Structure 1
Amino acid sequence: MVAMSDLEDIKQVKYRYLRALDTKKWGEFAATLTEDIVGDYGSSLGEKHHFTDRDSLVEFMRNALPANVISEHRVTHPEITVDGDEATGTWYLQDRVIVADFDFMLVGAAFYQDRYRRTPDGWKISATGYDRTYEATMSLKGLDFKLTPGAALG
């Protein structure tokens, strides 16, 4: 029988992962991951984004989402299965990435496929990645786009 607290704890670690990613709190982001995490974020510009350790994955995210890049990641509809100290999860993702310096915005959706492991420090993500259902890019021109105070992090 699965304890409801396990399901809640797994949801919390996923939400923390996304909050830390979007607020660029890299220590908190790293704390949601096992040291041997496997990350697969597909490819862009001909470069694969596959990782087999926490340090490499965190460094990639730190470089991909510097202070001038605004991101918003939302997950819903979790399907979580717990089997002892291991779990799997599928999440529906909606995301947005804004790079005002390059007059660029990406809006997309995907399904995250995660694995989780119970550790002495609680549940952590041991594998993560997503399959895109769509991705649209657009110019910010004509959108009356402006950043409000506090919108830029870093």
Structure 2
Amino acid sequence: MTVESIEQDVRRLVAIEDIRQLKARYFRCVDFRLWDEFADLFTDDLIVDFAESTSSPRGKQEFLASVARHFETGYSVHHGHVPEIDILDETTATAIWPMYDRVESPAGSGYVSHEGWGHYTETYRRCDDGRWRICRSRLSRIERHELPKQETGVTS
């Protein structure tokens, strides 16, 4: 082991932790509706593929508007677990995140309450400010179950 290889390992581990924190902020911002902070988690050329969701926006602005509209009312909880993160080079990384979500939408909102699980497959880019951001995100669901009305604690 050389000093150079140790420094390289440390840079890789720091990048992995930065990406873990990025995804943790993603989940927190959605659940707490922190839209300005949420918007800063993505590159301007973001490409999204959430085919199983209620809408499938492709670009950043369309995605941000869709998420804000969908989660404007009701409650949600999003979890990501045990990611497989690969640092490809100094500015590019990929990850697969097993996920679980539960979304409770109020009656009349036009959205269906559900719980589900699956995987996010993402690509990240380290930007000029040194921060990692999501530049591609695909959600592949394994299951998505509509929640019966009596199971959704949402009244407003």
Same fold by TM-score greater than 0.5 = yes
Partner of 2:3: none
Quote the sequence identity (%). 26
Distance 2:152 2:120 in 1: 32
Summarize the alignment of residues 40-51 of structure 1 with structure 2, pairs less than 5 Å apart: 40-43=49-52, 49-51=56-58
The aligned residue for residue 60 of structure 1 is: 66
* Secondary structure, aligned partner of 2:153: coil
Matched with 1:145 is 153
TM superposition shift of 1:44 = 5.1
TM-score by length of 1: 0.83
Is 1:9 the counterpart of 2:9? The answer is no
Measured after TM superposition, the shift of residue 99 of structure 1 is 1.2
Which protein has the bigger strand share?
A: 1
SS at match of 1:15: helix
Cα distance change, pair 127–50 in 1 and its aligned pair in 2 (3 A): same
- How many pairs were matched up? 143
Q: CA RMSD in A?
A: 2.2
* CA drift at 1:133: 0.3
Q: Deviations over 1:38-71 (max 9, x none)?
A: 01110456xx50313x2221111111111x2211
Secondary structure in structure 2 of the residue aligned to 1:49: coil
**Could you say which structure has the larger radius of gyration?**
2
**1:127 counterpart residue number:** 136
- Consecutive unaligned residues in structure 2, runs of 5 or more: 1-7
> Counterpart of 1:13 in structure 2: which amino acid?
L
> In structure 1, what is the Cα distance between the partners aligned to 2:148 and 2:77?
17
Picking from 94, 97, 101, the partner of 1:95 is 101
Task: Check the 8 A contact 1:118/1:124 in 2, yes or no.
Answer: yes
